[in-house]
Chains A and B, each alone.
Chain A
Amino acid sequence: MELAKDDFAVTHKNEAIIHKTIKKVGEDIDTLKMNTAIAQLMTMVNEFYANGCTKGDLEYLCMLLSPFAPHIAEEMWEQLGFAAKHGKMAMQMPWPQFDEAKTVDAEREMAVQVNGKLRSTIIVPADADEETVCSSSRPSSSRTRSST
């Protein structure tokens, strides 16, 4: 919580994982698959660590965590200032909505193989065409990571 930036906006990089998580947790609760819902929340938190996060990102975490762990969710909610901001407990907030379009990753990781051997992986925009992908895969590309 201390790591979160004091910003109520959602971090752009975290948008996809948040929307994916809203979708997945909601569906899993309806089918009593609590284990995979929790796993998804953990995945989201890991991305928050990797990408950095704002209070705005954690607002979603509190709401999504609330059905499973209401005590800690409310405590975080209050300490982050959302109780004061909304005048409500997290459990009293409307269940977050997801945007199907935003559940799609902005970027994809692709493997680059030469003669069947993995040479490197590249990260390209999810909607990149073939030409873009091919040019990104050349060694000169600045986005190439060498595989180990």
Chain B
Amino acid sequence: MRYDFAAIEKKWQDRWEVSKPYAAITGDPRPKFYGLIEFPYPSGAGLHVGHPRPFTAIDIVTRKKRMEGYNVLFPIGFDAFGLPTENYAIKNHIHPAIVTKQNIENFTRQLKMLGYGFDWDRVVDTTDPTYYKWTQWIFLQMFKNGLAYKTTMPINWCPSCKVGLANEEVVEGVCERCGTPVVRKEKSQWMLRITKYADRLIDDLDDLDYIERVKVQQKNWIGRSTGCEVTFKTNTPDEITVFTTRADTLFGVTYMVISPEHPLLKKWQDRIANWDEVAAYQEAAARKSDFERGELNKDKTGVKLEGIEVINPATQEVVPMFVSDYVLMGYGTGIVMGVPGHDQRDWEFATKFGLPIIEVVSGGDITKEAFVSKDENAVMVNSGFLNGMTVKEAIPAMKAYAVEQGWGREKVNFKLRDWVFTRQRYWGEPIPLVNCEKCGWVPIPESELPLVLPQVESYEPTDDGESPLSKMTDWVNTTCPCCGGPAKRETDTMPNWAGSCWYFLRYMDPHNDSAPVSHEAEDYWGPVDWYNGGMEHTTLHLLYSRFWHKFLYDIGVVHTKEPYAKRTSHGMILGRNPHYVGPRSRCPSPSATSSTPTTSSRPTAPTRCACISCSSATSRRPPPGPTRPSRAPSASWTAAGT
């Protein structure tokens, strides 16, 4: 028999369109099953192989669940804010909303051709004002609860592209797109206090059915370590503090290292005999990204601070201090103690600068490499009262001693940083706050949401790196909702990670105009029973959305602590696909960016799954691999992206 698939598939698709066998019914007495896939960024290129792979898996699962008698919710939507669409709009002078609409139509047509069992009456589009009204509403609740704050921080800045770059977009000090040397620029940014949820984001993983490597990556990314803060006296009036998880090795400290950005350096300028050399080093370090300084930093560099001496509180011995860029200001205190016998980075640094290497834990050969073992055979030597103890015994013993002596205290430290939540771009959710000279930052009344993106002439960022919205004087100038005086609107927009933080809730109740989701719908459908998506989202979207969900739980919007009961992850499809665009020839059209932009440091270009925010966000992804070095977390998500 001849199978005329073109006619037969169309016939069934048409029937399903009318009879709606995939409709999910809120409140139905059957048991519910909520299967979720990461909603796509609607690029101009249409679907690629990275889409059907995860979609088909959950499509099969949910089809079986329906036959098993479940009331299935298997929804689809579009994560449509993002840079590729904006760039395409700039180039072709078409409003990004029009481009988005066309792309969504194309995606919809293609997805229907594949015959997926989506409930098409629940489609969400993150750029639809009826959707981003609630994204803005959630942001306002965060602001009101002290989780959103504005601060100034240095970002990577490309003077040619006029845009902030993520760490991964900076390759050997130049802009990955245009080759212009990147500078560090102080910019005022909105931040979300994800660090406040760090403990819960780790602890609540235990009860979830996530594949193990997702749990491990999230835990490593958050990077909780319990250690000790130790205060050192110096030959200046200032005391310095370091964070360490290895207080037991204090007798092995032979030098100290301070981050090039540390404010004490400036304060000590007159005391540092070789200030010119130090200043030059600071400048060179400022041109490197955190990523280059951390992960890629194979050859240790640094400058000794002539004239500065530090006193080891355990031994009262005087040790020298260096400035080196392998210490980041953002982690711990920005100063570390150098224990070359028992930390490999310190060992490399000490070897290069000819510093003494003291063995304080026996069991290894510190002339060849640092001995880092903490097992039962690792026994303390050359360490005064600690001698003979195992490392496991010595850590708490030294901690107790330091506390008793008054120069140490227990401390929990995280690698996780607060989340930079603004972009100087047009095509994103406007931030619904105004700045009043008298009242400061004031939220606009919730009745005025959504704060809709105004029509602008040009979508390009300004020369000084402000959002194109900043040129819209009529829109910017407003009145303060608090005192009625003149005020200015925030002109930055939200990053394209915002809309995907809560989309799975909107699917439960997509047409609600009085709440992000009704209690009734959320009680019925929550949590997501099975979420299948890419490993590359583990420490970005997956973590961000868990954070938002926990906040929504705290303010009573949702009834579960966690959004997803089960998470499975596929790998990325490797190999160059026909859409591959090399890192230096990246075309800013939507068609070029959905699938494969990559950094030149990776030998094989992964075909990007274009799920949540991939398109413009590939560059904000953390480096691959489950762990990061302890002192230099790749601050990929703290860097301001585009």
Chain A positions within 8 Å of B, measured between CB atoms, are 1-2, 26, 29-30, 32, 34, 63, 66-68, 70-72, 74-75, 89, 91-95
In whole angstroms, how far apart are the Cα atoms of A32 and B67 in the complex?
17
Contact of A29 among B60, B66, B532 (CB under 8 A): B60
In whole angstroms, how far apart are the Cα atoms of A147 and B285 in the complex?
78
- Whether A74 pairs with B12 at a CB distance below 8 angstroms is yes
Q: List chain B residues, Cβ under 8 A from A93.
A: 67
- Whether A29 pairs with B61 at a CB distance below 8 angstroms is yes
Nearest residue, chain B, Cβ from A74: B12
In whole angstroms, how far apart are the Cα atoms of A93 and B69 in the complex?
9
Contact mask B339-359 → A, CB, 8 Å, 1/0? Answer: 000000000000000000000
Contact mask B135-146 → A, CB, 8 Å, 1/0? Answer: 000000000000
In whole angstroms, how far apart are the Cα atoms of A34 and B54 in the complex?
12
- Whether B115 pairs with A71 at a CB distance below 8 angstroms is yes
B207 to chain A, nearest CB (A): 20
Known contacts A1-B1, A70-B12, A71-B12; is-contact A91 B61 (Cβ 8 Å): no
Contact of B63 among A26, A72, A91 (CB under 8 A): A91
For A1, A32, A72, the residue with the greatest tally of chain B CB atoms inside 10 Å of its CB is: A32
In whole angstroms, how far apart are the Cα atoms of A69 and B117 in the complex?
11
Contact of A94 among B8, B57, B69, B532 (CB under 8 A): B69
In whole angstroms, how far apart are the Cα atoms of A92 and B72 in the complex?
12
- Whether A66 pairs with B1 at a CB distance below 8 angstroms is no
B290 to chain A, nearest CB (A): 36
Q: List chain B residues, Cβ under 8 A from A89.
A: 21
- Whether B60 pairs with A95 at a CB distance below 8 angstroms is no
B568 within 8 A of A: yes
B64 within 8 A of A: yes
Contact mask B81-115 → A, CB, 8 Å, 1/0? Answer: 00000000000000000000000000000000001
- Whether A92 pairs with B9 at a CB distance below 8 angstroms is no
B68 within 8 A of A: yes
Contact of A75 among B12, B60, B68 (CB under 8 A): B12
B415 to chain A, nearest CB (A): 32
A86 to chain B, nearest CB (A): 13
Nearest residue, chain A, Cβ from B13: A71
- Whether B568 pairs with A70 at a CB distance below 8 angstroms is no
Per the CB 8 Å criterion, the residue count for chain B at the interface is 24
A24 to chain B, nearest CB (A): 13
B8 to chain A, nearest CB (A): 5
- Whether B67 pairs with A95 at a CB distance below 8 angstroms is yes
A interface SS class: helix
- Whether B117 pairs with A70 at a CB distance below 8 angstroms is yes
- Whether B8 pairs with A75 at a CB distance below 8 angstroms is yes
Q: Which of B1-41 contact A (CB under 8 A)?
A: 1, 3, 5, 8-9, 11-13, 21
- Whether A91 pairs with B21 at a CB distance below 8 angstroms is yes
11 contacts between A and B (CB under 8 A): A32-B61, A34-B57, A34-B60, A70-B12, A70-B117, A71-B9, A74-B12, A75-B12, A89-B21, A93-B67, A95-B68
- Whether A63 pairs with B67 at a CB distance below 8 angstroms is yes
A53 to chain B, nearest CB (A): 15
Known contacts A91-B66, A93-B67; is-contact A72 B60 (Cβ 8 Å): no
B38 to chain A, nearest CB (A): 15
In whole angstroms, how far apart are the Cα atoms of A53 and B527 in the complex?
44
Q: List chain A residues, Cβ under 8 A from B115.
A: 70-71
Chain B positions within 8 Å of A, measured between CB atoms, are 1, 3, 5, 8-9, 11-13, 21, 56-57, 59-61, 63-64, 66-69, 115, 117, 532, 568
Nearest residue, chain B, Cβ from A32: B57
Contact of B67 among A30, A68, A74, A91 (CB under 8 A): A91
Given contact pairs A26-B64, A32-B568, A71-B8, enumerate 16 new A-B contacts (beta carbons under 8 Å): A29-B64, A32-B57, A32-B532, A34-B57, A66-B63, A70-B12, A70-B115, A70-B117, A71-B9, A72-B5, A91-B66, A92-B21, A92-B67, A93-B67, A95-B67, A95-B68
Nearest residue, chain A, Cβ from B57: A32
In whole angstroms, how far apart are the Cα atoms of A29 and B568 in the complex?
13
Q: List chain A residues, Cβ under 8 A from B56.
A: 34
B573 to chain A, nearest CB (A): 15
In whole angstroms, how far apart are the Cα atoms of A89 and B68 in the complex?
14
Q: List chain A residues, Cβ under 8 A from B67.
A: 63, 66-67, 91-95
In whole angstroms, how far apart are the Cα atoms of A91 and B66 in the complex?
8
In whole angstroms, how far apart are the Cα atoms of A30 and B58 in the complex?
10
B401 to chain A, nearest CB (A): 52
Q: List chain B residues, Cβ under 8 A from A94.
A: 67-69
In whole angstroms, how far apart are the Cα atoms of A89 and B12 in the complex?
10
Q: List chain A residues, Cβ under 8 A from B1.
A: 1-2
Q: List chain A residues, Cβ under 8 A from B532.
A: 32
Q: List chain B residues, Cβ under 8 A from A1.
A: 1
In whole angstroms, how far apart are the Cα atoms of A30 and B12 in the complex?
26
Q: Which 10 A-B pairs have the closest CB atoms?
A: A67-B63, A95-B67, A67-B60, A71-B9, A95-B68, A71-B12, A67-B64, A75-B8, A29-B64, A74-B12
B404 to chain A, nearest CB (A): 55
In whole angstroms, how far apart are the Cα atoms of A1 and B1 in the complex?
8
For B57, B59, B67, the residue with the greatest tally of chain A CB atoms inside 10 Å of its CB is: B67
In whole angstroms, how far apart are the Cα atoms of A92 and B15 in the complex?
14
- Whether A70 pairs with B63 at a CB distance below 8 angstroms is yes
A46 to chain B, nearest CB (A): 18
Q: List chain A residues, Cβ under 8 A from B64.
A: 26, 29, 67, 95
B213 to chain A, nearest CB (A): 15
Q: List chain B residues, Cβ under 8 A from A66.
A: 63, 67
In whole angstroms, how far apart are the Cα atoms of A67 and B57 in the complex?
10
B6 to chain A, nearest CB (A): 11
For A71, A74, A92, the residue with the greatest tally of chain B CB atoms inside 10 Å of its CB is: A71
In whole angstroms, how far apart are the Cα atoms of A35 and B54 in the complex?
14
Q: List chain B residues, Cβ under 8 A from A92.
A: 21, 66-67
In whole angstroms, how far apart are the Cα atoms of A16 and B187 in the complex?
70
In whole angstroms, how far apart are the Cα atoms of A34 and B56 in the complex?
10
In whole angstroms, how far apart are the Cα atoms of A29 and B64 in the complex?
8
In whole angstroms, how far apart are the Cα atoms of A32 and B569 in the complex?
11
Q: List chain A residues, Cβ under 8 A from B21.
A: 89, 91-92
Q: List chain B residues, Cβ under 8 A from A91.
A: 21, 63, 66-67, 117
- Whether A72 pairs with B568 at a CB distance below 8 angstroms is no
Q: List chain B residues, Cβ under 8 A from A34.
A: 56-57, 60
